[in-house]
């Protein structure tokens, strides 16, 4: 549940801090790297340096996965500004759930029995219905889900798919969980720096929001560390569906913390959708 809480709080922190997509992406990368360095240092200080050992191949694969994650996060931050947090998070959840479930079943052979697949995909459908319900919008609302915004978010979600499969990639099977964590966080930071330079926003490094968003990165980094252990222990499908309970925190927070406008009808759908998401996530555990 740690990833669900950490990833649910992150968009609320970055929403409160504000700043550009560049500021927010760098903040996540820098904050997550700080958590990675702390985990590395604690392992050495507690006399367990072997926990953070990683091979050269494992190091660079982890860096690449982290950099690809940045693509998904950039797409999400841009979508926050276009559609709002309370609209983006549920839709992003649907895209990630579908992609990750197919990856888990087809590539990693999870939910290998007929019963497990029936329960797993049934739970997935319930979660997707719930996520779609929370994103219902009326014409009188502020930020909208347009066709353009829909496909932009879908395409950039590719980076999230790679990241979510990361703990179970065969090339990393023999690597320590803590060992692959720091290089992955460095990859996220590298991806954010490349994005900053490539988008012509080097001046962002002089902006206050560039560094205040690190608080959001700390929340994200703690969640990411917990996810590596959860993904390996429970499998990509079960672990990921549980982490998507972050949609509950982010959606409600978007309304009450960030004051994003929702009509009474939209709020009714949002509450019902959250109930579906929680129910589906709990049901997924029975497919393990």
Our measurement of the distance from residue 286's CA atom to the centroid of its chain's CA atoms, rounded to an integer in Å, reads: 23
> CB–CB of 242/281 below 8 Å?
yes
203: DSSP letter: G
Residues of the chain under the 50 pLDDT cut: none
Q: What is the structure's pLDDT at 261?
A: 79
pLDDT number for residue 255 = 83
For 185, how many CA atoms within 13 A lie in the half-sphere containing its CB? 31
In terms of residue numbers, what domain contains 280?
Answer: 1-285
Q: What is the pLDDT of residue 205?
A: 95
Q: What pLDDT score was predicted for residue 186?
A: 95
Place of tokens 């979600």: 157
Total number of domains constituting the chain = 1
Nearest to 43 by CA among 52, 35, 34: 52
pLDDT, position 140 = 54
Q: What pLDDT, on the 0 to 100 scale, is given for residue 19?
A: 92
- The phi and psi torsions of 199 (rounded to 5 degrees) equal -90, 5
Cα separation of 33 and 73, whole Å?
15
Supply φ then ψ for residue 142, to 5 degrees: -80, -90
What is the per-residue pLDDT for 235?
A: 78
| pLDDT at residue number 41 | 93
């Amino acid at each position: 549940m740690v990833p669900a809480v950490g990833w649910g709080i992150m968009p609320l922190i970055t929403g409160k801090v504000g700043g550009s997509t560049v500021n927010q992406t760098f903040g996540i990368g820098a904050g997550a790297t700080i958590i990675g360095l702390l985990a590395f240092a604690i392992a050495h200080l507690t006399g367990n340096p072997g926990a953070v050992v990683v091979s050269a191949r494992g190091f660079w694969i982890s860096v690449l996965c982290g950099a690809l994650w940045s693509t998904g996060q950039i797409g999400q931050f841009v979508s926050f500004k276009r559609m709002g947090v309370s609209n983006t998070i549920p839709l992003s959840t649907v895209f990630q759930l579908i992609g990750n479930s197919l990856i888990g079943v087809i590539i990693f052979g999870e939910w290998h029995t007929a019963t497990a697949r029936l329960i797993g995909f049934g739970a997935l459908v319930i979660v997707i219905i719930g996520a779609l319900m929370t994103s219902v919008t009326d014409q009188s609302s502020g930020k909208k889900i347009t066709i353009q915004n829909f496909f932009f978010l879908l395409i950039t979600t590719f980076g999230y798919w790679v990241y979510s499969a990361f703990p179970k990639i065969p090339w990393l099977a023999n690597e320590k969980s803590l060992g692959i964590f720091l290089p992955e966080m460095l990859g996220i930071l590298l991806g954010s720096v490349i994005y900053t330079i490539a988008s012509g926003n080097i001046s962002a490094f002089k902006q206050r929001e560039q560094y205040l968003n690190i608080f959001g990165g700390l929340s994200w980094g703690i969640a990411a560390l917990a996810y590596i252990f959860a993904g390996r222990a429970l499998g990509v499908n079960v672990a990921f569906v549980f982490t998507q309970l972050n949609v509950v925190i982010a959606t409600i927070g978007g309304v009450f913390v960030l004051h994003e406008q929702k009509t009474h009808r939209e709020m009714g759908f949002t509450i019902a959708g959250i109930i579906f998401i929680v129910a589906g996530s709990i049901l997924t555990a029975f497919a393990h």
